Amino acid sequence: MHKVYLRFYEELNDFLPEEKRKKRFAHQYIDRTSVKDLIESLGVPHTEVDLILVNGKSVNFKYLINDGDDISIYPVFESLDISDVQHLRPKPLRKPKFIADVHLGRLTKYLRMIGLDVLYKNNFEDDEIVSISIKEKRAILTKDRGILKRNEVTHGYWVRATKAEAQAKEVLERFDLQKEIKEFSRCIECNDLLKPIKKEKIINELPPKVAKLQNEFYKCPSCNKFYWKGSHYQHMLAFIQSLKNIKY
Ligand SMILES: [Zn+2]
């Protein structure tokens, strides 16, 4: 029986059982595996990992473990004062775009409400999510760690929170998107970009009270839904304010 020592840092500990969190622990193995397979066998998807040090030197996912290795595993965005290391993530996606799994319909609506580009269908298959993510350079948002363990997935995030508002905050924080917030820019139903539209053009299609009280309107070119600053607007503003106030 061979042995390696492991230490996971920061939020990677979310995936581990209590006794393995935030401490160095020994792990016994019979067959040599890649460090990627070892990490994932402990429940941590490789998309969460940005840096692996073995005996103080950075390695890639293909590194084959050796008896006695001392392995430190760091998450994406963990700031480190170490130069000349091999970061494992490809460069961050410049304009973040997402594809959400079937469990994240409410989160999708929150993210679209603040202007983020999120593809979602309640019948997406895992294979479809993976192939769209690669083709369109979209980060996968998921409640299912399994999908993030696939080799071909490069950008993904396992959403921890269970309530949609908390999930939205979590995603914004993780992808550092506070500056991207832009309300009334995207259709909550279908993800298309909204266009401003003059009141006179649609006045006959509006409920009379809305026509009387509101002057600013947006229309979705795909599903033809109208948007205005109605009663939900105050709630939305409060939510956006809370997102902008996320502390670091
Ligand atoms: Zn729409």
CA 191 / ligand 1 centre spacing (Å): 6
Give pLDDT tens digits for 7-55: 999 889 999 999 999 999 999 999 999 999 999 999 999 988 988 999 9
CA 130 / ligand 1 centre spacing (Å): 24
> What number is the average pLDDT over the span 234-245?
82
Give pLDDT tens digits for 161-208: 999 999 999 998 888 788 788 888 999 999 999 999 999 999 998 889
CA 195 / ligand 1 centre spacing (Å): 11
Question: For the chain, what percent of residues have pLDDT higher than 70?
Answer: 92
CA 190 / ligand 1 centre spacing (Å): 4
* pLDDT-based confidence at residue 94 (cuts at 50, 70, 90): low
What pLDDT does 93 receive?
54
What pLDDT does 248 receive?
45
CA 176 / ligand 1 centre spacing (Å): 26
CA 121 / ligand 1 centre spacing (Å): 14
Q: Which of 1-5, 197-201, 229-233 has the lowest mean pLDDT?
A: 229-233
Give pLDDT tens digits for 127-136: 999 999 989 9
Q: HEC states along the chain?
A: CEEEEEEECHHHHHHCCHHHCCCCEEEEECCCCEHHHHHHHCCCCHHHEEEEEECCEEECCCCECCCCCEEEEEECCCCCCCCCCCCCCCCCCCCCEEEECCCCHHHHHHHHHCCCEEECCCCCCHHHHHHHHHHCCCEEEECCHHHHCCCCCCCEEECCCCCHHHHHHHHHHHCCCHHHCCCCCECCCCCCECEEECHHHHHHHCCHHHHHHCCCEEECCCCCCEEECCCHHHHHHHHHHHHHCCCC
* pLDDT-based confidence at residue 115 (cuts at 50, 70, 90): very high
CA 86 / ligand 1 centre spacing (Å): 42
